[in-house]
A and B are shown apart, each in its own frame.
Chain A
Amino acid sequence: MHELSLAEGLIEILTEEASKQAYRQVRKVVLEIGEFSHVAPDAMRFCFEIAAQGSVAEGAVLDLTFRQAMGECRCCGESVVMHSRYDACPACGAYGIRVVEGEDMSIKYIEVV
């Protein structure tokens, strides 16, 4: 389950930021997950809870927000909302739409005390 390593990476960032931003506890983490990123939400929540144990983020709420995948047609340049990687362009029918947005996973906000 690769969500565990992602969750461990997340905890590492929160721990690192704790000294920089002078907080002792994280209450909430808002993650933005691209539709085409490699995160299964339930697995991520489960792994976050485990990875957070004993850290500054123990017991914190994990809030997942989703970002729609957007692409650009290589043929006609149309901007396209993507539902799968193998969609055809709705404007010209060509395949191989280049993904422009929706592959990232990032921490947006944290709430701390």
Chain B
Amino acid sequence: MCTTCGCGLSPSHTDGDGIAGRMIRLERDLLAKNDRYAEQNRDRFLHHKVLALNVMSSPGAGKTALLAQTIRELSPEMRIGVVEGDQQTRRDAQRIEAAGALAVQINTGKSCHLEAQGVGQALLQLPLMDLDLLFIENVGNLVCPAGFDLGEQYRIVLVSVTEGDDKPLKYPDMFATADLLVITKLDLLPYVEFSQEQCVAYARQINPELNWLGLSSQSGEGMLHWQIWLDQQLTALRTSK
């Protein structure tokens, strides 16, 4: 009910100044605009058969380290591009370029997440037709990026063993929409209290079908499983219509 004139939002509603106001029923989704751009991105990825992965985690979980190591191991056989999201600097893009892939940096300024429109603009700077794999490295943040579809085919969330195995319960939105959980920094496991099984169990409380794997970009442990997962998704994409 209206709190100004007491009407039930009727057409005869009037505001304090006595001028009759009109009520208009809208039913418009706040994310509709982002979703439209996300759909455009998705169409472009499918058209060029590029596997697009939205990589998310809290800051410092090892996103860039994992991508750089993946590029060193897989390119040039696999052609990889990276869209890098950070609030400031080109540092991550430089790390990716040093590893041997094409990178476009998006600086989000005050914003805490990437949006589909910005990613779409970044794609114009990448030769999508020549790529097999596109990583979209989101802003380090375990909250906001979960709410914005970028047009990716899969969402990957990283949790490092130094963060605590209860992260999925503390930040459930992120895990609810993820397709793959990657537990990183396994080389540090002997020094911290972290149970991979517990972390996965918590995550599956929210998302029972979530796949997971553990690895260390530093020692190389588990990197093979990660490559196999990437290969499987690429094969599935290429054999799809």
- A residues lining the B interface (CB < 8 Å): 1-2, 4-6, 9-10, 12-13, 17, 21, 23, 27-28, 31, 36-38, 74, 84-86, 88, 95-96, 99, 104-113
Contacts and interface: CB of A to CB of B under 8 A. Distances in A.
B33 A12 contact: yes
A113 B19 contact: yes
B241 interface: no
A38 B27 contact: no
A2 B147 contact: yes
Contact of A109 (B9, B29, B146, B205): B9
Interface stretch (B106-114, B124-132, B212-220, B226-234): B106-114
Contacts of A86: 168-169, 172, 202, 205-206
Given A9-B33, A107-B27, A111-B22, A36 B112 contact: no
Across the A-B interface, the 7 shortest Cβ-Cβ residue pairs: A96-B208, A38-B147, A85-B172, A2-B144, A105-B30, A95-B205, A86-B205
Interface residues of B, number: 42
A1 B144 CA distance: 8
B192 interface: no
Contacts of B29: 104-106
Contacts of B115: 5
Given A1-B110, A17-B24, A38 B206 contact: no
Contacts of B21: 27-28, 111-113
B26 A105 contact: no
A45 B100 CA distance: 45
Contacts of A105: 29-31
A96 B33 CA distance: 29
Contacts of B169: 86
Contacts of A110: 23-24, 26
Contact of A113 (B22, B25, B26, B112): B22
Contacts of B43: none
A49 B110 CA distance: 17
